[in-house]
Amino acid sequence: MERFAGQTVIVTGAAHGFGRAIAHAFAWEGANVWACDVNTEGLGETARLVYHDGLTVHTRAVDVGDAAAVGAFVSEVVAETGRIDVLVNNAGGVRGQVGRPIEEISPADWQAIFAVNVDGAFFFAQAVAPQMKERRSGRIINISSGAGLGISLTGIQAYASAKAAQIGLTRQLAHELGAWGITVNNVAPGFVRSNPTTERQWDSYGEEGQRKLIDAIALKRLGTPEDIANAVLFFASEGAGWITGQVLSVDGGK
């Protein structure tokens, strides 16, 4: 069943992990997918994997923290397709940083994490809003983290703060845009081995730490990128038409 046939979907941060799985899932369900990232090599691999299944995804190199670049990309998508039905703000992460004492965090380090996790979500929502308002329909799904609801396992202050801010943005935009039939929701993943950063994090725990992490999960297993993609597709579906401003923890149960 192609639930999203004829719909145009933008997925940010699609070079690997959640973004790749989300882009692939929407393509499989018939959507016209436009995927972006700054990691062009990974983005190319996403395209190859999608094409391997006989599907199509359009890819572009876009820095989500650059408002002008975001606007240009969204304008291109609208010019080509005439519509944007779904925006998935997945781009994020820790930008190569590790946990350090607060005294050691520079303004540049702090801002770098906010730029990709919060600014990018804001710039993309701002860019797609006029077209969605005109059509009086749209879905915006932000990908946060369990860190935004609690604390960061890595101890990165900016990451926990940025994800919490993104959740606040989700709720605010839901109320602002709801009058035009636009829903805005948030998926908060638990720990998933989905990219090089999470692989390094997993390895750093050692066998005992890995066992403790899994034992703390109700379902006693780690999640997969596909688990996150399934939640995103639900929020984008007709079945979620009266759900907005919500945060769905996809973490195996805590």
Active site residues: 159
DSSP code for 7? -
Report how far residue 94's alpha carbon sits from residue 141's, in angstroms, rounded to the nearest whole number.
20
H/E stretch holding 249 = strand 247-250
Going by the DSSP 8-state scheme, the letter that residue 117 receives in this structure is: I
Identify which of 151, 152, 174 has the alpha carbon closest to the alpha carbon of residue 235.
174
d(CA 35, CA 42): 11
Tokens describing residue 53 = 């299944």
Are 73 and 60 spatial neighbours (Cβ–Cβ below 8 Å)?
A: yes
Q: Residue 32: beta bridge partners?
A: 8
Closest to 31 (Cα-Cα) out of 139, 183, 125: 139
Can you say whether the dihedral through the CA atoms of 216, 221, 222, 228 is positive or negative?
Answer: negative
Q: Please give the single-letter amino acid code of residue 15.
A: A
Beta bridge partners, 186, equal 142, 247
Token pair of 209 as six digits = 């730490």
